[in-house]
Amino acid sequence: MIRIDRVSRPRILHEVSFEARPGRVTGFLGPNGAGKTSTVRILLGLDRASTGTATINSQPYAALPRPLTVVGALLDGSGAHRARTARAHLRWLAASNALPRARVGEVLETVGLTEAAGRRAGRFSLGMSRRLGLAAALLGDPPVLVLDEPFNGLDPAGILWMREFLSRCAAEGRTVLLSSHLLDFPVDDVVVINRGRVAAHGTLAEVQGDHGSLEDAFLALTGAASW
């Protein structure tokens, strides 16, 4: 369970509040620059909120003793140093959270990078980098997944794979929060953010309301219809 409670940052976020619940994919949607990444970074303890709290299972991220076993996060890029092989990258990560080394091979297999395990991360294509980032997120088999723009850089097959993968994660009972400026993926709950404020929050049906489709609702809520 993820809870964002009245999180603010000057000029970026204004009293942002929402929840993401277990067993559901929560889409955190908004135009570019709306505050999605800032919110995610505050949730993950990378940036600070000036006021408000962001917790995962009632704890701030930095208080989690072995965070990779609770939250898997996918942010921009592969997260690996260019000169490191995919395997070496995942190995130090496993060591940092006292995870068994065997997990490295398992997650490489899950994301389809077994063949590329010995290649340096700097030589990966965009899609492979994202897969490596996802492998790192899955290393601790976490019940919570936080993904910032996970579809960026994926080819159509990759997008399809990611969509199915996320639905499967939610079906397994995991909490899945994913931010995106795209709307083309299956969600259970929706949070729409615009200019640092939550414009709508609820189940897909609630947010769609009378708008007919999520696209129409999104455009109406964010005032981007002039496109």
Partner 1 sequence: MVRAELSKLLGLPTAWIGLALGLIAAPALVLVNTPGMRQAIESGEVTDLGYENLGIGLLGALILGVVAVSSEYTSTGDDAPGAHQMTTTLLAMPRRSHLLLAKGAALSFVVAVQGALTASATVLLTQVMLPDHAPPFEPARVAAAVLYWTLLGLLAFAITLIFRNGIITLTVFIVNSSVVSVSYLLTKLTPWAAYLPDIVGAHMFLRTMPGETHIAPLTAGLVMTAWVAALLAAASYLFTRRPA
Q: Which residues bind partner 1 (CB under 8 A)?
A: 41, 44-48, 61-62, 64, 67-68, 71, 73, 75-85, 88-89, 91-93, 95-97, 121-122, 124, 126, 129, 136, 153
35: left (phi over 0), alpha (psi -120 to 50) or beta: left
Contacts of 32 (CB under 8 A, 6+ apart): 181
Give least dist CB 202 to partner 1, A.
Answer: 29
What tokens appear for 113 in the block? 């990078």
Q: Shortest approach of partner 1 to residue 110 CB, angstroms?
A: 18
Report the residue number, 30 or 79, with the smaller CB distance to partner 1. 79
Cβ closer to partner 1: 36 or 89?
A: 89
**Min. distance of Cβ 147 from partner 1 in angstroms?**
13
Minimum distance from residue 164 beta carbon to partner 1 (Å): 24
Report, in Å, the least distance between residue 196 CB and partner 1: 17
Structure tokens, 227: 């496109």
Pick between residue 52 and residue 153 the one whose CB is nearest to partner 1.
Answer: 153
Strands 25-29 and 175-180: parallel
Question: For residue 78, which amino acid is it?
Answer: S
Q: Which one, 88 or 219, has the nearer CB to partner 1?
A: 88
Q: How far is the CB of 51 from partner 1 (least distance, A)?
A: 16
Burial call 127-161: b when 16+ CB within 10 Å, e when fewer = bbbbbbbbbbbbbbebbbbbbbbbbebbeeebbeb
**66 neighbors 97 (Cβ within 8 angstroms):** yes
* Residue linked to tokens 């097959």: 157
Hey, what are 34's tokens? 């709306």
The one-character DSSP state at 29 is E
**Interhelix angle 86-96/102-110, nearest 10 degrees:** 130
Q: Is the Cβ of residue 8 or residue 85 nearer to partner 1 in the bound state? A: 85
Nearest distance in Å: CB 124, partner 1: 7
Closer by beta carbon to partner 1, 132 or else 191: 132
Q: Which is nearer to partner 1, 131 or 201 (CB)?
A: 131
Radius of gyration of the chain (CA): 17
